[in-house]
Amino acid sequence: MANSNLPRRIIKETQRLLSEPAPGISASPSEDNMRYFNVMILGPTQSPYEGTFVQLLIGGVFKLELFLPEEYPMAAPKVRFLTKIYHPNIDKLGRICLDILKDKWSPALQIRTVLLSIQALLSAPNPDDPLSENIAKHWKTNEAEAVETAKEWTRLYASGA
């Protein structure tokens, strides 16, 4: 099985993710493929993706999948939003426009740092480097309205279910 040959680094990262998770982030490997992670990110506070507390947290839980390719850590992990999200840098397929996942990848980065970066991206959408043209346009022309839509979507889809 693929897991038998898992590099020490991946094992170590996984252990650390599980033992000391980053706030607002959870990542656990799939049972049958240790390179595949189920990820949940809480929408950052003060952002349109924030969940709302009504005794319990409602919404604002985004599911992602993360896959470590064979070359990892020399190549970036592949990450995708599974939860529908209204964000200028994330398209409807959940693909993320983030430099460290592409040309700015460095082997010194880890799963944890990648996920933190994604979390940060939610806090600071960047419509100038869009993946989703329409959303970016919306963001630029009428940010307030766009933020509203984002909040709406968060309520609708990011239930964590």
Partner 1 sequence: MGTKLTEELISTVRSIVGFDFSDMDIIRALHLAKNNPTAAINIIFDAPNFISKQKSPTPKTPNPNPKSKPNPVPDKQPNLVVKDNGNRILSQNLEVNCIENDARDCTIDDSERVLSSVGSEWWHVGSGVVAGLSTCKGRRVKAGKEVNFTFPLKSKISNSPSPGKGFGRGRQTVVACSEIVRFSTKDSGELGRIPNEWARCLLPLVRDGKVRIMGRCKSAPDVLGIMDTIELSISVYLNSAMFRKHHQNSLKAAANSTEETIVHPLPNLFRLLGLTPFKKAEFTPADLNTRKRPLNSKDGCGLLASLLNVSKSENQSGNGNEVENEESISDANLENIVGVGDSSELEEMDPPSTLQCDLRPYQKQALHWMIQLEKGKCMDEAATTTLHPCWEAYHLADKRELVVYLNVFSGDATIEFPSTLQMARGGCLDQIMLLKILADAMGLGKTIMTISLLLTHSGKGGSSNSQSGSQPCTGGGSSDNSDQLPNQLTKSTKSSGFDKLKQKKMLVNGGNLIICPVTLLGQWKAELETHAQPGSLSIYVHYGQSRVKDANFLAHSNVVITTYGVLASDFSAENAEGNAGLYSVHWFRVVLDEAHTIKSSKSQISVAAAALVADRRWCLTGTPIQNNVEDIYSLLRFLKVEPWESWAWWNKLVQKPCEEGDERGLKLVQSILKPIMLRRTKSSRDREGRPILVLPTADVQVIYCQLTEAEKDFYEALFKRSKVKFDQFVEQGRVLHNYASILELLLRLRQCCDHPFLVMSRGDAQEYSDLNKLAKRFLKGGQNVLEGEGTDVPSRAYIQEVVEELSKGEQGECPICLEAFEDAVLTACAHRLCRECLLASWRNASSGLCPVCRKTITRQELITAPTDSRFQIDVEKNWVESSKIAALLQELEKLRLSGSKSILFSQWTGFLDLLQIPLSRRNIPFVRLDGTLNQQQRERVIKQFSEDDSILVLLMSLKAGGVGINLTAASNAFVMDPWWNPAVEEQAVMRIHRIGQTKRVMIRRFIVKGTVEERMEAVQARKQRMISGALSDQEVRTARIEELKMLADSQIEPAVYRKMILDRWDVEGPPPNQWKRVRKRKPPPPLQHSNGAYLALSTSTLSGSATQYYRVGVFDNCSQKWRNLVDCLTLKTKKSSEVQTKKLAVVQNVNYGALGLDLISIELVVSEEVLESREKAKPQLWKMRTPEEASVHWRQLFGHLDREE
The residue from 97, 98, 121, 158 that is catalytic is 97
102 binds partner 1 (CB under 8 A): no
Q: Which CB sits closer to partner 1, 108 or 124?
A: 108
1 binds partner 1 (CB under 8 A): no
Q: Which CB sits closer to partner 1, 106 or 134?
A: 106
Contact 100, 114 (CB under 8 A): yes
69 binds partner 1 (CB under 8 A): no
Beta bridge partners of 29: 37
**Residues composing the chain:** 161
Among 70, 107, 140, 145, the residue binding partner 1 under the rule CB under 8 A is: 107
52 binds partner 1 (CB under 8 A): no
Q: Which CB sits closer to partner 1, 42 or 111?
A: 111
20 binds partner 1 (CB under 8 A): no
Closest by alpha carbon to 80, among 46, 120, 36? 36
42 DSSP assignment: E
Q: Which helix (H) or strand (E) holds 9?
A: helix 8-19
108 binds partner 1 (CB under 8 A): yes
Longest pairwise C-alpha distance within the chain: 52
Closest by alpha carbon to 96, among 72, 79, 76, 120? 79
Contact 135, 86 (CB under 8 A): yes
Q: Which CB sits closer to partner 1, 69 or 107?
A: 107
- Is 82 known to be catalytic? no
Q: Which residues bind partner 1 (CB under 8 A)?
A: 8-9, 12-13, 73-74, 104, 106-108, 110
Q: Which amino acids are annotated catalytic?
A: 97
